[in-house]
């Protein structure tokens, strides 16, 4: 199958031998079910001292050199067969590049449908890795996601009373993750409860061992604090497969360090030096982004595109391109299609919801292309879907993860078909009010 090593649990002694082959061999291979989740995980790993690259979509060809590679799929709500096929293809290419451990990353609110895709993908990876057992822990206390007695809380509310029960694509109507995961897998699911987790890595490890003896293949693990997550990570040092949110990845870099495989890297977040011109492109209409635009307007030349007045992608892009001439330079400029809810609703009423979104995304992708063609090499994009459209249009394949501007939004060094550039992709609600201004003082 093209594995460069048998996909089995590897003893630390063997790790040492493999690691002696060089400094540039991948240690941790990650598969994420969506783009912003992948970035969040990658930023977590960089913070813990791993040089990390995010690859966009199922990898084609050799993977970039890094301690950790995160493959960003768009598989959360894809048909289950697709989610499995893409995840296995990603897994194979991570193993071929030397990954010693595979991490299956999903959302901290366990976003899934009764059909999956968390359980079915985990089953397929478990089989491929011959793993026999994997923990499942989406907890992320910093963001208010905690697990107690197998029940997931969002802030003070149970998952199914947190608003997630109304999610348009993945409504979560049961907070009991043991039951939810059991409904998605052929295998038995157990629980490592808080009382055990609170006693540290040794206790967690031996409880997982017992569950395995009792025929369980998965364990939901309670976690309320970051210390719990670090202990869970340590307890899973020798697991071929780990599943969870980005929180549980916090403890994994230290395992590789303890095994002598990961040097102390002060420079894990260092990107190649930047040059060229700077720009911000906004397509998010979230309250946070509208506030950031409001403040940035006082600090940089700004153009607000009116998609309602010009409901044509090419014509809108042409307006932006005419405006940018003479303004583009080392100091950032801002081009935004973002609008308050009533204007968004008006365009959606005129064109339909999907067509309205697609029109603006197409226009902004064209503008991004024009900016890069005119020498922009530091580009900040606001909006999850908008970012997807821009990345696709620019033909970008991988992002080396750098320093965070605000939590969850790092500068990255993007490479692909065209020129390489420094890129920051901000999902709508992220970032402080001065985000667009301070971003260019970073990295």
Chain residues that interact with ligand ADP, rule: CB under 6 A: 283-286, 289, 307, 337-339, 343-344, 347, 356-357, 360-361, 383-386, 427-428
Closest CB to ligand ADP among 101 and 292?
A: 292
Q: Given the structure tokens 């990954």, which residue do they identify?
A: 99
Closest CB to ligand ADP among 184 and 386?
A: 386
Residues 374/324, Cβ–Cβ less than 8 Å: yes
Q: Tell me which residue of 430, 316, 416, 432 sits closest to 372, measured CA to CA.
A: 416
Minimum Å gap between C-beta 208 and ligand ADP is: 37
Strands 277-282 and 376-382: parallel
Closest CB to ligand ADP among 69 and 359?
A: 359
Closest CB to ligand ADP among 161 and 306?
A: 306
Minimum Å gap between C-beta 340 and ligand ADP is: 9
Minimum Å gap between C-beta 348 and ligand ADP is: 6
Minimum Å gap between C-beta 70 and ligand ADP is: 19
3-state secondary structure of 359: helix
Closest CB to ligand ADP among 63 and 316?
A: 316
Segment 5-13 long-range contacts (CB within 8 Å, at least 24 positions apart): 5/95, 5/98, 7/95, 7/128, 7/129, 7/130, 7/240, 8/129, 8/130, 8/240, 9/131, 9/238, 9/239, 9/240, 10/100, 10/238, 10/240, 11/238, 12/237, 12/238, 12/258, 12/259
Closest CB to ligand ADP among 115 and 309?
A: 309
Shortest-Cβ-distance residue relative to ligand ADP? 428
Minimum Å gap between C-beta 265 and ligand ADP is: 31
Closest CB to ligand ADP among 34 and 234?
A: 34
Minimum Å gap between C-beta 341 and ligand ADP is: 10
Residues 426/391, Cβ–Cβ less than 8 Å: no
The Cα–Cα gap between 90 and 73 comes to: 9
Minimum Å gap between C-beta 345 and ligand ADP is: 8
The Cα–Cα gap between 33 and 76 comes to: 5
């Amino acid at each position: 199958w093209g594995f460069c090593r048998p996909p089995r649990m590897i003893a630390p002694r063997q790790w040492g031998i493999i690691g002696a082959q060089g400094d540039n061999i991948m240690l941790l291979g990650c598969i994420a079910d969506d783009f912003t989740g992948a970035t969040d995980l990658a930023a977590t790993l960089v913070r813990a001292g791993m040089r990390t690259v995010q690859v966009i979509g199922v990898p084609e060809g050799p993977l970039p050199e890094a301690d950790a590679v995160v493959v960003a799929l768009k598989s959360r709500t894809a048909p289950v067969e697709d989610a499995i096929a893409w995840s296995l293809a990603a897994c194979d290419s991570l193993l071929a590049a030397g990954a010693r451990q595979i991490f299956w990353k999903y959302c901290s609110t366990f976003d899934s449908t009764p059909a999956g895709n968390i359980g079915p993908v985990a089953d397929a990876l478990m089989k491929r890795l011959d793993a026999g057992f994997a923990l499942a822990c989406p907890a992320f206390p910093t963001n208010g996601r905690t697990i107690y007695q197998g029940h997931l809380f969002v802030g003070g509310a149970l998952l199914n009373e947190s608003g997630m029960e109304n999610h348009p694509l993945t409504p979560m109507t049961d907070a009991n993750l043991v039951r939810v995961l059991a409904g998605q897998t052929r295998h038995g699911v157990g629980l490592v409860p808080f009382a055990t987790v609170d006693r540290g890595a040794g206790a967690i490890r031996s409880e997982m061992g017992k569950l395995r003896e009792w025929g369980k293949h998965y364990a939901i693990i309670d976690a309320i604090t970051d210390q719990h997550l670090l202990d869970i990570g340590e307890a899973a040092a020798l697991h071929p497969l780990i599943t969870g949110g980005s929180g549980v990845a916090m403890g994994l870099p230290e395992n590789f360090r303890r095994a002598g495989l990961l040097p102390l890297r002060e420079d894990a977040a260092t990107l190649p030096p930047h040059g060229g011109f700077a720009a911000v492109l906004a397509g998010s209409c979230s309250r946070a982004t509208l506030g950031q635009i409001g403040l940035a307007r006082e600090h940089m030349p700004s153009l607000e595109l009116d998609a309602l007045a010009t409901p044509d992608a090419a014509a809108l892009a042409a307006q932006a391109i005419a405006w940018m001439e003479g303004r583009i330079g080392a100091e950032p400029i801002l081009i935004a299609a973002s609008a308050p809810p009533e204007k968004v609703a008006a365009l959606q009423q005129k064109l339909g919801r999907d067509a309205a979104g697609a029109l603006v995304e197409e226009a902004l992708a064209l503008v991004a292309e024009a900016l890069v063609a005119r020498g922009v090499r530091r580009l900040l994009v606001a909006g999850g879907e908008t970012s997807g459209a821009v990345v696709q249009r620019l033909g970008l394949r991988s992002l080396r993860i750098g320093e965070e501007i605000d939590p969850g939004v790092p500068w990255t060094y993007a490479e692909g078909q065209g020129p390489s550039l420094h890129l920051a992709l901000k999902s709508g609600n992220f970032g402080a009010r001065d985000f667009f201004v301070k971003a260019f003082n970073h990295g």
